[in-house]
Amino acid sequence: MIYRLSGDRNPLHSDPSFAAMGGFDRPILHGLCTYGFTGRALLHTLCGSDAGRFQHIEGRFTSPVLPGEALTVSIWESGDGSALFTTSAGDRAVIDQGLVRYS
């Protein structure tokens, strides 16, 4: 519910009956939250928690996340100040084709 502070009042993230109309058992986690946790993991792992070194992030959302699911961020460094990544919930990719650039 804290992501409502970003201005997005989409009931898909808070109203069980609305989520059911979308085919979900319960409200799904806000994509901004999934993206934020992914970015935080990349920032700490690749940039030593120095936000000034974090330059770019992109990825493709592939599957919704349910509140309470654990996220795993897998990172493959290319050695040129960039890395590829995926974010998964269990065996299901939730963000793929991820690219991050850092210094």
Catalytic residue among 8, 15, 44, 50: 8
Is residue 13 flagged as an active site residue? yes
- Exposure b/e, 17-29, CB count within 10 A at least 16 = b: eebeeeeeeebbb
Is residue 25 flagged as an active site residue? no
**Dihedral angle computed from the Cα positions of residues 20, 22, 27 and 30, in that order, rounded to the nearest 10 degrees:** 180
- Alpha-carbon gap, residue 91 to 85, rounded angstroms: 15
Active-site amino acid positions: 8, 13
